[in-house]
Structures are given as structure tokens and as C-alpha cells.
Amino acid sequence: EDQVTQSPEALRLQEGESSSLNCSYTVSGLRGLFWYRQDPGKGPEFLFTLYSAGEEKEKERLKATLTKKESFLHITAPKPEDSATYLCAVQAGDTDKLIFGTGTRLQVFP
Amino acid sequence: DAGVIQSPRHEVTEMGQEVTLRCKPISGHDYLFWYRQTMMRGLELLIYFNNNVPIDDSGMPEDRFSAKMPNASFSTLKIQPSEPRDSAVYFCASSLDSYEQYFGPGTRLTVT
């Protein structure tokens, strides 16, 4: 069965304290791995798509990387406005459905 | 573009009542997805459409749930009869090519 596991469940950082979020997956035939950001009371906001091992993508203070078993979302010098829940999802096989992890709740304090 | 539009934003109803959630996808997007989000189970796909045709409804919990997409700009998710365990946030998302999905603001459903 396809599975996505995110860790840690929650992360508290001081402003400027860089860290990484992990998304490990077990799927047959990965088609894409996706990162979303979700703010309280809002829908998930698309951040990145990664298609193959070794691929990296960046956006402002965020950088996503992908290996054959996991993905990392690196946050460099975070700011309080980066506080949100970060969701990882995979698309695999011959289906278009996304399987989501349970998310990492990030809090950045000034 | 206005993004994905969902209505109502909040719905409170009594057990046994019919509930209809509505979604307008982003214009030009061929895929439409319905998700449910709860604290216990996270974000789960209920059903998705491609070109208005239901492709995978394996996530629909039971026969009380039904979804339709009569045209490219409108979809509904209906629950009849509703039960307290249906309380959740329901999201609609649309996509041009099934990869990058854009989510609406969600409908928070409370069934008492």
C-alpha cells in the first residue's frame, strides 16, 4: 500500500534558525512528489513538484530535494511568516490521485 | 483569476439532513478533486473528475455521499443523510494536468 510519512509532527524554530522537514514515501512507480503549505483556515497552497531522484527546487527561503525514498524541505533563515503546516503528497502508478502525509506544523518565533 | 471557489464556507446542519457543497474550478482546468480533511485522518481524496467524468470514487466513504460535475465550471458534493462523523473541512481542487492541484478555501461542515 502506498504510504507517506512526515516528520517531525511539529517544529518550533527561532527566527533565523535553519532546519529541514522530512517526507518519506513507499509507493510503486512514483510520478511526482508535491509540497504544499497550509495556513489555518485556508486550503493548501502549492509550493513544489519533484519528479525524479536528485531533483531540487527553490523558492525564497525554501528548498525541496528528492531521493528514491524521501524528500526534504529545507528552510533557510526562517521568518515568522513561514509559520504554517507543510504537507507532502505523492502521485504514483497510473492514477492521478494524490496521497497526503499528515503534515509538519512549523512555528517560527521572533 | 479568482481561483477555486467553494460555497458555502461554513455549514451547520442537524443529523439526517441533506447537505450540498459546491465548487467552481479554475477556468480551463480539466481535473477536479474533492477532498476531506480531519484531525484524525488528515487530507483524503474522495473522488476526482477528468473532463467532467468521474474517474476514481474509491475514497467516497459510503452511499450517503455522491458527487456530480454537470459541466466544466461546476461540481457538487452531496451528503444524504448527514451524520455527526461527516463533520470535517471539505476541499475542492482543480488542475490543468493532474499534477499541480490548486485548492479552494474549503467548506467547514458541522453536523450536530
Please tell me the predicted confidence (pLDDT) of residue B61: 86
> What's the mean pLDDT when you consider all of chain A?
95
User: To the nearest whole percent, how much of chain A has pLDDT over 70?
Assistant: 100
> What's the mean pLDDT when you consider all of chain B?
95
CA distance A32 to B69: 26
Q: According to the per-residue pLDDT averaged within each range, which of A57-66, B1-10, B54-63 is highest?
A: A57-66
Please tell me the predicted confidence (pLDDT) of residue A28: 86
CA distances from B8 to B15, B23, B53, B70, B90 (A): 18, 9, 24, 19, 10
Question: CB distance B42–A45 less than 8 Å?
Answer: no
Please tell me the predicted confidence (pLDDT) of residue A2: 83
Query: Mean pLDDT throughout B65-78?
Result: 97
CA distance A23 to A2: 13
Please tell me the predicted confidence (pLDDT) of residue A52: 93
Please tell me the predicted confidence (pLDDT) of residue B1: 63
Closest-CA residue in chain B for A40?
A: B105
Comparing CA positions, the residue from B106, B98, B102 lying closest to residue B77 is B106
Answer yes or no: is pLDDT of B99 > 90.
Answer: no
Please tell me the predicted confidence (pLDDT) of residue B88: 98
Query: Mean pLDDT throughout A98-103?
Result: 94
- Chain B nearest C-alpha distance from A37 (Å): 11
Handedness of CA A86, A74, B99, A98 (dihedral sign): negative
- Across the interface, of A34, A95, A102, the residue whose CB is closest to B56 is A95
Backbone φ and ψ for B18, nearest 5 degrees, come out as -85, 140
In which band, very low, low, confident or very high, does the pLDDT at B82 lie, cut at 50, 70 and 90?
Answer: very high
Q: Which of A5, A52, A94, A98 to mutate to test the interface with B (most CBs of B within 10 A)?
A: A98
- Give B13-36 pLDDT, tens digit per residue: 999 999 999 999 999 999 999 999
> Which residues of chain B have a CB within 8 Å of the CB of A32?
99
CA distances from A13 to A17, A28, A76, A83, B77 (A): 6, 35, 11, 9, 39
Query: Mean pLDDT throughout B77-103?
Result: 94
CA distances from B7 to A52, A71, B4, B84, B107 (A): 37, 34, 10, 20, 7
User: To the nearest whole percent, how much of chain A has pLDDT over 90?
Assistant: 89
Q: Which of A97, A102, A104 to mutate to test the interface with B (most CBs of B within 10 A)?
A: A97
